[in-house]
């Protein structure tokens, strides 16, 4: 979606939108619109949209009023994103290509939040749809903001790269596995980061064999698609300062391997690379807005398939760290990808902090549903920073427990550890597994996003499908802890 700014209302607009705080209609509104809003019980509640037709300057135009709620609400920013999203949902396929948005009664940061919600909710991926009816097709392509508040355009310019990052994550997560696999994931990132100033590093299977990444390579050995490691490095901070590292699980399709998943619902496993997609989108946001921070994003990319070369339950693999792992279930593959990606990240970049993102366990959905991602951390300060960033960004997180008592659940009789515990504490034992690959007590957090990366119902700023969860959390964490 294209967003433009104009000091005055451009001519020829067919649709003009205004916001209304709770209990207060916009000034100068025509009597017919006032009466219509009253009849429709419009009171400015967040997400309400009332529209009608009026004559202005000799032309009949459509006017929409979107409820922005109470201006004193502590959730004002989130409410305004919902306001923008409601406008997008209302007019996305309504036959108009451009909305004229009157920004005169908004502050600069409020306008940025409203535009964020409008743009994110208007995103939809229709690349593969060829037989849509006209009334189903997206017609809304641009917004022109007139009468903007002082600093409004600058506020949106700072926020727009974050919207672009969320959209890139949604694109990667939405694409089918025959379009996005390890090699093509890398190629798409190379295209999107071209000319941005970021450095991209790619490891192929030969290089990973030389490094001893037996855990990651074991997951992908049953696929015709070669595995990859992708690192995206951005040095926008102080020279020589240790970076913040984001590490993502990029299983581009997960059949479960030899421990094959049930057929119904397996198509959803195209989004098992949601953690890697989030890291790619988060890095794009940070790079595009020229974040004043040193950050590196590392993504372990594999496809988990069950052919004659696939690893078997009972196999033992050696990770890059030298620790050995007994494979009891080949469907517990994400932690095998992450353990080598985490070790390589620490060896290669010596990060000050590490945060990994992964659609790691179904058990986290049992625990938290689809409202929060689960966070496991060895560091209280890092958890606190993530919690704060989650509340500010809207990517909600909830801390889960860890402790030595859970380690016994992944003890192996023949190797250093096994890749699954029993039926109990599935998300916790996965985190305990990953913690064994964190070096020298480096502050680390594992964010299990299995319940938040994809949704079967529309949310505040997204339609059904990929949510883009994680991008805004990463961006806010950097803003709060490094750029502050």
- pLDDT one-digit tens code per residue, 406-451: 999 999 999 999 999 989 999 999 999 999 999 999 999 999 999 9
For 346, the enclosing helix (H) or strand (E) is helix 334-349
pLDDT in tens, 279-311: 999 999 999 999 999 999 999 999 999 999 999
> Tell me, what's the pLDDT at 58?
85
- Return all residues near 239 (Cβ < 8 A) that are at least 6 apart: none
| Phi, psi for residue 462 in degrees, rounded to 5 | -145, 155
Model pTM score: 0.97
- Longest Cα–Cα distance in the chain: 84
> Tell me, what's the pLDDT at 448?
98
pLDDT at position 484 over 90: no
> Per-residue confidence at 57, pLDDT binned at 50, 70, 90?
confident
Strand partners, 100: 16, 144
For 112, the enclosing helix (H) or strand (E) is helix 108-122
- Tokens representing residue 134 in the block: 């006209």
CB atoms under 10 Å from CB of 397, counted, come to 26
> Tell me, what's the pLDDT at 56?
87
Q: Where are the domains of the chain?
A: 2-150, 161-481
- Return all residues near 124 (Cβ < 8 A) that are at least 6 apart: 92, 138, 463
pLDDT at position 33 over 90: yes
For the ranges 7-21, 111-125, 346-360, the lowest mean pLDDT is seen at 7-21
Q: Are 248 and 358 in contact (CB under 8 A)?
A: yes
Determine what percent of the chain is predicted with pLDDT higher than 70.
100
Q: Among the options 335, 353, 418, 472, which is catalytic?
A: 335
Distance CA 180, CA 164 (A): 19
Pick from 373, 473, 367, 375: nearest CA to 431 = 375
pLDDT in tens, 452-479: 999 999 988 999 999 999 999 999 999 9
Tell me what the mean pLDDT of segment 131-155 comes to: 96
CATH class of 161-481: alpha beta
> Per-residue confidence at 354, pLDDT binned at 50, 70, 90?
very high
pLDDT in tens, 198-247: 999 999 999 999 999 999 999 999 999 999 999 999 999 999 999 999 99
- Tokens representing residue 415 in the block: 């190797």
Pick from 107, 100, 99: nearest CA to 149 = 107
Pairing verdict, β 454-455 and 465-466: antiparallel
pLDDT at position 349 over 90: yes
Q: Are 301 and 276 in contact (CB under 8 A)?
A: yes
Determine what percent of the chain is predicted with pLDDT higher than 90.
97
Tell me what the mean pLDDT of segment 20-48 comes to: 95
261 carries an active-site annotation = yes
- Return all residues near 451 (Cβ < 8 A) that are at least 6 apart: 364, 365, 368, 369, 370, 371, 372, 373
CATH class of 2-150: alpha beta
Q: Are 145 and 98 in contact (CB under 8 A)?
A: no
| Phi, psi for residue 373 in degrees, rounded to 5 | -90, 150
Residue 115: CA atoms inside 13 Å, Cβ hemisphere, count? Answer: 36
Q: Among the options 261, 391, 399, 436, which is catalytic?
A: 261
């Amino acid at each position: 979606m294209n967003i433009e700014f104009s000091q005055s209302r451009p001519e020829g607009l067919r649709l003009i939108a205004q916001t209304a705080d709770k209990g207060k209609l916009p000034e100068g509104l025509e009597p017919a619109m006032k009466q219509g809003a009253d009849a429709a019980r419009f009171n400015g509640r967040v997400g309400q949209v009332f529209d009608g037709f009026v004559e202005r300057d000799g032309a009949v135009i459509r006017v929409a009023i979107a409820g922005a709620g109470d201006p004193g609400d502590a959730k004002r920013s989130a409410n305004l994103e919902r306001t923008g999203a409601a406008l997008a949902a209302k007019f996305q396929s309504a036959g108009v290509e451009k909305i004229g948005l009157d920004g005169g009664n908004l502050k600069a940061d409020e306008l940025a939040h409203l535009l964020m919600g409008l743009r994110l909710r208007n995103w939809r991926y229709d690349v593969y749809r060829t037989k849509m009816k006209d009334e189903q097709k997206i017609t809304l392509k641009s917004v022109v903001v007139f009468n903007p508040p002082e600093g409004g355009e600058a506020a949106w310019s700072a926020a727009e790269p974050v919207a672009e990052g969320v959209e890139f994550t949604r694109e990667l997560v939405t694409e089918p596995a025959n379009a996005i696999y390890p090699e093509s994931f890398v190629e798409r990132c190379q295209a999107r980061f071209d000319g941005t100033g970021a450095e991209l590093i790619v490891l192929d299977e030969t290089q990973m064999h030389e490094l001893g990444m037996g855990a990651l390579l074991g997951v992908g050995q049953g696929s015709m698609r070669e595995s990859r490691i992708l690192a995206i490095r951005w040095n926008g901070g102080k020279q020589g300062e240790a970076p913040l590292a984001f590490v993502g699980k990029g299983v581009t399709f997960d059949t479960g391997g030899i421990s094959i998943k049930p057929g119904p619902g397996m198509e959803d496993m195209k989004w098992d690379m949601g953690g890697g997609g989030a890291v790619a989108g988060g890095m794009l946001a940070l790079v595009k807005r020229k974040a004043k921070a040193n950050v590196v994003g590392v993504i372990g990319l594999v496809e988990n398939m069950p052919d004659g070369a696939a690893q078997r339950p009972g196999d033992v693999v050696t990770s890059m760290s030298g620790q050995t792992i007994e494979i009891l279930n080949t469907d517990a593959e994400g932690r095998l990808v992450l353990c080598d990606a985490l070790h390589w990240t620490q060896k290669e970049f010596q990060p000050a902090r590490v945060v990994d993102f992964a659609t790691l366990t179904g058990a986290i959905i049992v625990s938290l549903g689809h409202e929060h991602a689960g966070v496991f951390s060895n560091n209280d300060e890092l958890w606190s920073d993530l919690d704060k960033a989650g509340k500010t960004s809207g990517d909600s997180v909830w801390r889960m427990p860890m402790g030595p008592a859970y380690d016994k659940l992944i003890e192996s009789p023949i190797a250093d550890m096994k890749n699954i515990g029993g039926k109990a504490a599935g998300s916790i034992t996965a985190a305990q597994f990953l913690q064994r690959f964190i070096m020298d007590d480096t502050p680390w957090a594992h964010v299990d996003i299995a319940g938040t990366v994809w949704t079967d119902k529309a949310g505040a700023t997204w339609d059904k499908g990929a949510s883009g969860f994680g991008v805004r959390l990463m961006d806010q964490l950097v803003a709060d802890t490094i750029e502050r």
